[in-house]
Amino acid sequence: MHKRLTIWGYGVLASILIGSGLGGFYLLQGKLIEIVGIGHMVRPVFNALWITIIGVLIFWIQRRFNQLPKPLGQIRADLKATGTSDYRYLPLQFLLPALILTSGTSLGPEATLVSTTCLGGIWLLDKLRYLNANWGHLSTSGRLRAMFQVNHQLISRPAAQIHHSLWTPLTIGYFAAGVLSFYLTCKFGGEPSVIVYLGHSAWQWHELLWLLPIFIFGRGLGRLELALMISLRKIILGRVHRDWALLLIGGLAIYAASIWLPAINCSGMANFHLLAGSWQHHSTGALLLAAGLKLGLLTICLNTGWIGGDIFPVLFCTTAQGIALSFWLPIDPIFTIAVFAIAAGGTILESPLVAGGVMGIMFLPPNLLPISALIIALLILCDHFTQPHWVRLSDAVHKMLATH
């Protein structure tokens, strides 16, 4: 009983520390972005100097650690092959990505949050497995050393064994403790609420007649934009093969945005207040131009080493496009924005649940939750029936662009 209680208590404490660390990272990156000011102030010399410094930092990371944060796809592959993943550099993921995001990459912190959560969970499970298996062979000082040694040895096991122990009542409890500590760290750290309602909706049942046309338009535009983003990625990676050259291209794109349109530099999450306020009075052309350029900058950053998350930047762009569309339809504007943003955003991200869940919970008024759920269901249904056709469309767009 003493062994089980000690290991359980250690798991809870470690989960709280991981969650607090993630909250600290989130607060740190927000504060650093505010201090550095790229995306908020036009300063040609300072921006050029700072972007160069961050570019050198990324180049060093690529040479020393390959990539930080560790890509989620690589973590999944490691889990499938060995049942664990290399988390030796996990502490650096709480610091270095926060510095990278200050460069105005147009990317968000969510990639680091997800990667670090996964690696932290794997680290904790390895610790608990080790302690459970060796408890009787360790002295009291040995147990304490194993608990507090940050980079304990990697413990591999057949992948088939891990599927039965990832989600148990205990691991769910650890995860809940981590999430709660993350929330409390952000709350008491002065982070404002991430919920930014785009406005109030008074949609009526007759407006459901517009739902399918808006959905089809958003779905189609999202497919086209994703095809163009994929083509841009193939063009960049097909013609530039040196890491330093890729970083230079990304840095120049970030710098150009910081001079001529700094509002597209930030991740999107920090700028959603613009979409809830002044940007709802911008012209259609200005909104579409900003959204298009931000998607372009996002694609360049993702494929040139300027790492980060793409969820909030994509939703920022599709929401701006939804605002532009709402100017031309004789129905509730927030209804129009909701349907279009989720349809287009879920298509570009290729994740209906993520796009619909984030929009429905964080940016849309509660009375549009049923609409969000309906759009998610329609996207999932469309993905099920149209995937082969979409692959052919993407290839066709790339071939068309490659010939020009």
**pLDDT attached to residue 88:** 84
Contacts of 247 (CB under 8 A, 6+ apart): 55, 58, 59, 304, 305, 306
DSSP state of 157: -
Checking if the pLDDT of 402 tops 60, the result is no
Rounded Cα–Cα distance for residues 196 and 176 (Å): 24
Residue 198 lies in a domain: no
| Residue 113 and residue 237 in one domain | no
| Residue 212 and residue 184 in one domain | no
Spatial contact of 26 and 109, defined as CB atoms under 8 Å apart: yes
| Residue 237 and residue 364 in one domain | yes
Task: Name beta bridge partners: 38.
Answer: 41
Contacts of 360 (CB under 8 A, 6+ apart): 338, 342, 368, 369, 372, 373
Spatial contact of 318 and 120, defined as CB atoms under 8 Å apart: no
Segment 231-246 mean pLDDT:
91
Instruction: Tell which residue, 347, 231, 351, 354, has the closest CA to residue 300.
Output: 231
Rounded Cα–Cα distance for residues 218 and 324 (Å): 12
Rounded Cα–Cα distance for residues 173 and 11 (Å): 9
Query: Does residue 213 have a cis bond before it (omega within 30 degrees)?
Result: no
Q: In the chain, what percentage of residues exceed pLDDT 70?
A: 89
Name the average pLDDT for the chain: 85
Residue 199 lies in a domain: no
Picking from 132, 153, 188, the residue at the C-terminal end of a domain is 188
Segment 366-394 mean pLDDT:
80
Phi, psi of 364 (to 5 degrees): -115, 145
Expressed as residue numbers, the domain containing 345 is 205-402
Rounded Cα–Cα distance for residues 227 and 393 (Å): 7
Residue 134 lies in a domain: yes
Picking from 188, 216, 238, the residue at the C-terminal end of a domain is 188
Indicate the helix (H) or strand (E) that contains 319: helix 311-326
DSSP state of 38: B
| Residue 351 and residue 272 in one domain | yes
| Residue 210 and residue 237 in one domain | yes
**pLDDT attached to residue 404:** 46
| Residue 225 and residue 356 in one domain | yes
Q: Using one digit for the tens of pLDDT, what is the confidence trace for 158-198?
A: 444 444 456 677 788 888 999 999 989 988 888 776 678 88
- Output the six-digit token pair for 326: 């709402």
Checking if the pLDDT of 304 tops 60, the result is yes
| Residue 88 and residue 45 in one domain | yes
Of the pLDDT bands very low, low, confident and very high (cuts 50, 70, 90), residue 269 is low
Q: Using one digit for the tens of pLDDT, what is the confidence trace for 59-116?
A: 999 888 888 888 888 888 888 888 788 888 888 888 999 999 888 887 888 888 989 9
Residue 380 lies in a domain: yes
Rounded Cα–Cα distance for residues 91 and 112 (Å): 12
Task: State the first-to-last Cα distance of the chain, in angstroms, to the nearest integer.
Answer: 71
Q: Give the chain's domain count.
A: 2
Checking if the pLDDT of 401 tops 50, the result is no
| Residue 386 and residue 242 in one domain | yes
Enumerate the H helices of 69-168 as residue ranges: 72-82, 96-101, 110-134, 140-148, 159-162
Phi, psi of 38 (to 5 degrees): -70, 130
Rounded Cα–Cα distance for residues 222 and 318 (Å): 8
| Residue 102 and residue 52 in one domain | yes
Of the pLDDT bands very low, low, confident and very high (cuts 50, 70, 90), residue 223 is very high
**pLDDT attached to residue 388:** 54
Residue 120 lies in a domain: yes
Report which of residues 130 and 396 the model is more confident about. 130
**pLDDT attached to residue 127:** 85
Q: Using one digit for the tens of pLDDT, what is the confidence trace for 138-155?
A: 777 777 777 777 665 545
Picking from 141, 160, 188, the residue at the C-terminal end of a domain is 188
Instruction: Tell which residue, 227, 347, 232, has the closest CA to residue 298.
Output: 232
Phi, psi of 299 (to 5 degrees): -65, -45
| Residue 182 and residue 222 in one domain | no
**pLDDT attached to residue 158:** 47
> pTM of this prediction?
0.82
Spatial contact of 107 and 306, defined as CB atoms under 8 Å apart: yes
Residue 200 lies in a domain: no
From the number of C-beta atoms within 10 Å of its C-beta (0-12, 13-18, 19+), residue 47 rates as: buried
Q: Using one digit for the tens of pLDDT, what is the confidence trace for 15-73?
A: 999 999 999 999 998 889 888 888 777 789 999 999 999 999 999 998 888 888 888 88
Of the pLDDT bands very low, low, confident and very high (cuts 50, 70, 90), residue 234 is very high
**pLDDT attached to residue 335:** 95
| Residue 73 and residue 214 in one domain | no
**pLDDT attached to residue 37:** 81
**pLDDT attached to residue 331:** 92
**pLDDT attached to residue 163:** 47
Residue 196 lies in a domain: no
Contacts of 116 (CB under 8 A, 6+ apart): 18, 21, 22, 25, 69, 90, 93, 94
| Residue 308 and residue 171 in one domain | no
Residue 195 lies in a domain: no
Rounded Cα–Cα distance for residues 402 and 96 (Å): 36
> What is the distance of C-alpha 252 from the center of its chain?
23
Cβ neighbours, 10 Å, residue 358 = 25
